[in-house]
Structure 1
């Protein structure tokens, strides 16, 4: 929801089809980050990225603030104010001076990307009005597929049938998960798919813009340039679509404090992405995004009581496996697996008793999870949900 990354980043998708205030995916940041362990930055990014998605979902559904376009516009306005203040009063955004940005370049390159960015955020927020957080996260697994197809369509990369076969695993997994969705709503599904398509187009435009090598921007500098364009575009959409029915009383009923907190979380997400990129690597960012998606699925079940069936878990697992393989490749996965095995063997030799306890606990959780997903409990929850909807 806030002008966010992605996932995709995460290709960092504005981490939320919702507003996750995430800027386009440029070059690694130069920030040093202060010497803390990289795990801190990973945990911070996952926490903020998940928080903005859950926060937006709560505002739009639980708090009954039925104005997703206004919320998205607010995120962009807040991001514009914050980055303008940082540029004026701090040195954090001094790297913007190295970007050869002219008025002509801004209108030709930034504004179209800003339009796609706005449409991504708007579509994502509209989807959150009707679809569950868990189902939306499952659909987002197809972002990598959409981006790849877009690069082929715009001749940025030549078509590769082997890669197409690899990403088809993701599609199959998402299809299985979609067929198992209890709360399926066609318009929410269309909005989310539309957001994925516009996000793919945005990333392709960014890739073409950065291909010259002169436009290296970290997420905060990107937000500095994109947020004003997005704010203007979103304002136009908001005035025509939500303007006639939104009132000051509607905003006051939600609370200015809630809006301020929401804008801050969205903005801090951009700051955390700068720190994460500076302290880790693209591989770590990819794996962090996938871990975040998994955690969000479970969090939505606990917080919003979203029903998730065993079939969905099965399909989503296939999609995630395909996504990991597509992002990392066989060689990198084998290298990571070898490193993990060496670390595990070292830990087992030094802590045999603790290893046994962890193994028993892990086996217990697997059995319990399998029973919960496939057993009568899952069926009862689904049946109860259907009865609730029917009544």
Structure 2
């Protein structure tokens, strides 16, 4: 009994340690990229307020490394995607991703890190609402009530924001909507077709389309301004190189975390990361965090926590059902075999 318990605990520990390691890596990289992007884009810090250009640098860097891994060094095999599947599935996801990154990076120019994390609490609301609109999810009154509670919490946090900026809020909410749509579209366009992309192949296919879509607004919005500032600005390869490397590592960490644990684990880890960022923003960056901010976000946090709890319970119920079904089938087969044996014995005795 003691040996069995020890073996069981060792097995649990061996499973838990890698999971916590993946979570820690993702939190660290996500934290680093957010703070680094804020540093580069903020006018009071590095003062390079060109979010489209920064996102394009990230996508160019990720595309190059992914291309080298797939085509030059052949570390991973490319997915068997037809041109039709690429154009109808990957390209729309790339377009949504580019818009999400562009708007979220733009928001750092106008809003504090802490307030942006509070607004991101609306992600489950956006994903659930868009899932219903696109008929990927079904309407449930208790879930919708939970979504309403999260929304009210974020609204209270916004009301208590000391440096509220309407344009910044609009940009961040737009980023949430595009990111939520992208997540739902991944389920509809890729998962439903049985297409599974690993971290490298995802960047290999998606990053170039992101870069192409971002190039269109960049030509009209940022290129003319950058052209005028070329004499005054010198490209810092250390700053932008390390920033891009962090962005690339974060993309890998996202797929590693979801692949080795689950999307639900990432959601829970995201809540921990948000609290850490709010604390960092208040203590180190010296952003103003009001009691109203914390009360509103606390309410939203409870809503998100309850939502994740419900999803976890549903997931456990589904897994339990899967385990029960094969047992029932095996019992049925065993019963049939026994009946067959019984009939065979009867036949033998009659003969």
TM over 0.5: yes
Given candidates 82, 93, 98, the residue that maps to 1:118 is 98
Distance of aligned partners of 1:157 and 1:65 in 2 relative to their CA distance in 1, 3 Å threshold: same
Given candidates 303, 319, 322, the residue that maps to 1:322 is 303
1:142-192, Cα deviation, whole Å (9 max, x unpaired): 011011111111122222222101111111110110110010001001111
Aligned counterparts of 1:155 and 1:280: Cα–Cα separation in 2: 27
Given candidates 171, 174, 188, the residue that maps to 2:151 is 171
TM-score by length of 1: 0.72
| Structure with greater Cα Rg | 2
Aligned counterparts of 2:143 and 2:153: Cα–Cα separation in 1: 16
Give unpaired runs (5+ residues) of structure 1.
1-34, 336-391
Q: How does 1:247-286 map to 2 (within 5 A)?
A: 247=227, 248-249=230-231, 251-252=233-234, 255-286=236-267
Residue 53 of structure 2 corresponds to residue 53 of structure 1: no
Given candidates 268, 288, 303, the residue that maps to 1:287 is 268
Q: CA deviation at 1:46?
A: 0.5
Q: How does 1:1-391 map to 2 (within 5 A)?
A: 37-61=18-42, 62-90=45-73, 92-94=75-77, 96-97=78-79, 100-247=80-227, 248-249=230-231, 251-252=233-234, 255-329=236-310, 332=313
Q: CA deviation at 1:63?
A: 0.4
Q: CA deviation at 1:295?
A: 0.5
Aligned counterparts of 1:158 and 1:143: Cα–Cα separation in 2: 17
Aligned counterparts of 1:250 and 1:318: Cα–Cα separation in 2: 47
TM-score by length of 2: 0.79
Aligned counterparts of 1:165 and 1:36: Cα–Cα separation in 2: 36
Aligned counterparts of 2:199 and 2:223: Cα–Cα separation in 1: 30
Aligned counterparts of 1:260 and 1:108: Cα–Cα separation in 2: 32
Is contact 1:220-1:274 (8 Å) kept?
A: no
Distance of aligned partners of 1:183 and 1:236 in 2 relative to their CA distance in 1, 3 Å threshold: same
Aligned counterparts of 2:129 and 2:182: Cα–Cα separation in 1: 13
Is contact 2:100-2:175 (8 Å) kept?
A: yes
1:44-73, Cα deviation, whole Å (9 max, x unpaired): 111100100000000001100011110011
Is contact 2:89-2:190 (8 Å) kept?
A: no
Is contact 2:69-2:200 (8 Å) kept?
A: no
Aligned counterparts of 1:103 and 1:73: Cα–Cα separation in 2: 24
Q: Which structure carries more helix by proportion? A: 2
